[in-house]
Amino acid sequence: MARFILDVNSKNSYKMSEKQIDEICQSINEQLLNGEIFRIVCIDDTTDNQFYETQSKNKLNNKQINNYNKYLKEEEEE
C-alpha cells in the first residue's frame, strides 16, 4: 500500500465543512479506487500550511501530525 498527502482547495474559504470532506472521500473512492480498500483521513479542515508557492512552507504542522496519530489511536481502541 502507498501513502499520499492530498491537499484540497476549500473553495476560497479557510475551513472545509464535514459534508465537503465526506463528499471528497466518497468521490475519490468511487472515481479513482473503484471501491477498493483504502483509508482517507482528514488531518486538518483548514488551509494551514497549504498552497504556498515556496514548497518548504507546505510542511505538515504538529497539529496535523497529532490529528492523524489521534485518529489511529481511536481506531485501535474501537
5-24 per-position pLDDT tens digit: 888 877 777 788 889 888 88
Q: Output the pLDDT for position 35.
A: 66
Residue 67: what pLDDT?
A: 93
Q: b/e per residue, 6-27, with b = 16+ CB within 10 A?
A: eeeebeeeeebeeebeeeeeee
At 1 the pLDDT is 66
User: Is 61 within the bounds of a domain?
Assistant: yes
| Contact call for residues 3 and 60 (beta carbons, < 8 A) | no
Say if 46 falls within a structural domain.
yes
Structural domain harbouring 52: 18-77
Structural domains in the chain (count): 1
- Residue 53 to residue 78: CA distance in whole angstroms: 40
Degrees (nearest 5) of the Cα angle 19, 47, 66? 85
pLDDT at 46: 86
Quick check: is 27 in a domain? yes
Residues of the chain with pLDDT under 70: 1, 35, 37
48 located within any domain: yes
The dihedrals phi and psi of 46, each to the nearest 5 degrees, come to -115, 180
